[in-house]
Amino acid sequence: MKVLIVEDNALTRYTIKSLLNRLGHEVVGEAEDSVGAVKCFTELRPDVVFLDLILPGKSGVEILEELRKINPKPKIVIITAVDQEEIDLKLSNKGANAVMRKPFSFEEFKNLLKSIA
């Protein structure tokens, strides 16, 4: 799978990228904010996007809505430390395919990827 990582924390981006590479997926781009997210999404056409919920500029929810308008097909996984059912429901209603909680284990990451494949 071609993957785009949208995360403002460099360590989290690196961790996700390392796990994806270890599992045989191609990270086609990385972005730290909403502008970079939309630009990379449009230009790189990823199969999967890992999107942080809290970013500089626009929120992950706003970016999720923009990405879905551009192309509804890619799988979008929201990355968050927030654990609330209301947020999960809102994200699902906006088009998120899954929510990954920080911190996460390698097994949780692998299972999440299997669930969206």
pLDDT tens for 96-106 read 999 999 999 99
> Domain residue spans in the chain?
2-116
Q: Are 31 and 6 in contact (CB under 8 A)?
A: yes
* pTM for the whole structure: 0.95
Q: What span, in angstroms and rounded, lies between the C-alpha atoms of 106 and 91?
A: 23
Residue (of 11, 38, 41) closest to 103 by Cα position:
11
Domain 2-116 has CATH 3.30.200.190: no
Is the pLDDT reported for residue 82 higher than 90?
A: no
pLDDT tens for 47-68 read 999 999 999 889 999 999 999 9
Q: Are 63 and 40 in contact (CB under 8 A)?
A: no
Quote the pLDDT of residue 86: 83
Quote the pLDDT of residue 25: 96
Per-chain mean pLDDT for the chain: 94
Q: Which of 50-59, 76-85, 104-113 comes out lowest in average pLDDT?
A: 76-85
